[in-house]
Amino acid sequence: MVLISDFILFAILASVFWAVSLVIKKDVISNRIDSSVTVALIAGVTSFLVSLSLLLTGNIAFPSLYLFGVLVFSGVLYMGGVLGLFEAMKIGEVSRLSSMTKLSSVFTLVLATIFLNEYFTLQKYAGITMIIGGAVMVSSEDFGREFFDLKANRAFWTMFVSMFSIGASWVVMKYATELSSYWNVFFWSRLGVAMTALLVLLYPPVRSPVFGVIRNFRVKRPDFIAVAEVANTSGVFLNTLALSLGPVSLVAAASSTTPLFVLSIVILLTLIKKKSFRDDIGRKPFLMKISAATMVVIGIYLIS
């Protein structure tokens, strides 16, 4: 008896890799670079450079002009959403906006229903709801207050549009997997991400700080940066593989478990007394996160 579908397993593994990448970036990169946008732009270009290694496998082929446009468009949507997210965080209150980050999974569900005709049983919809709700609770300090204190200002709408853009990129990638192999979908969509990052770098107010960081950045463990990008790129590849095997709505829901794995890694590193990863969690928030983790596990069971 199969306990979990292949595409759900790949999506969860992608979340694990993304969690590893996020924890490393937080300690090694983000704590030494003031601008999150700079980190995102550097990561976008680096991710494609890491992806170039796939050319050695012989599985990458130049797609038709139409498919090439679709895949690049997917990458542009994703990178645009990520940059918009950082812009929203910069102009708004992070603690309140954090509860909106899982809207991308909701938009994915809605868009997939409209454009890809993805319909599920009530059990699977209940599972999706539990996973997304649990992921929001894990990544929030005070979910109820954060959510209901949100105001429809510039930061709110920037985040709203950004999450819609990321959700749309998932749907476009799923559509592309029906036209080509996951190898091609992964590689050429990464090109779209890199192209967007490079276009943004043409804007002088953005380019100058980024190149300043590159010139002056020093880190004791440069191999950690390489590990972070390999982990991030591996997560994207596994997620693309999951998209080629199952409905994008379920893949998006399973992939939203990243905050749960980030929390697990941070707790583990705290227990082994890695001071740079310390994350003090009170009794009430800890119990809430345990409850959230239980919701996620039950949700994964329901959609499997």
Mean pLDDT of 268-281: 61
Question: Residue for token digits 């890799």?
Answer: 17
Mean pLDDT over the full length of the chain: 78
In a domain, 297, yes or no: no
Evaluate if residue 121 carries a pLDDT over 80. Answer: yes
Q: Report the number of distinct structural domains present in the chain.
A: 1
In a domain, 268, yes or no: no
Question: pTM to 2 decimals?
Answer: 0.82
* Residue span of the structural domain in which 204 resides: 6-122+141-244
Evaluate if residue 261 carries a pLDDT over 80. Answer: yes
In a domain, 149, yes or no: yes
Mean pLDDT of 17-43: 69
In a domain, 278, yes or no: no
Tokens representing residue 89 in the block: 């965080």
Q: How far is the CA of 228 from the CAs of 73, 156, 237, 248, 283, in angstroms?
A: 25, 30, 14, 25, 31
pLDDT, one tens digit per residue, over 173-227 is: 999 999 999 899 988 888 888 888 888 778 777 677 666 666 665 555 545 666 7
In a domain, 237, yes or no: yes
Contact 46, 202 (CB under 8 A): no
Evaluate if residue 275 carries a pLDDT over 60. Answer: no
In a domain, 299, yes or no: no
Tokens representing residue 271 in the block: 């227990």
Burial degree of 115 (CB within 10 A; 0-12, 13-18, 19+)? middle
Give the SS3 label for residue 2.
coil
Helix, strand, coil fractions of the chain, as percent rounded to 5: 80, 0, 20
39 confidence band (pLDDT: 50, 70, 90): low
pLDDT for 2 equals: 45
pLDDT for 242 equals: 94
pLDDT for 213 equals: 61
d(CA 56, CA 259): 33
d(CA 209, CA 44): 16
In a domain, 157, yes or no: yes
Looking at residue 26, what DSSP letter applies? I
Mean pLDDT of 147-176: 82
Closest CA to 174 of 303, 297, 276, 78: 78
In a domain, 27, yes or no: yes
Higher pLDDT, 92 or 191: 191
**Percentage, residues of the chain above pLDDT 70:** 73
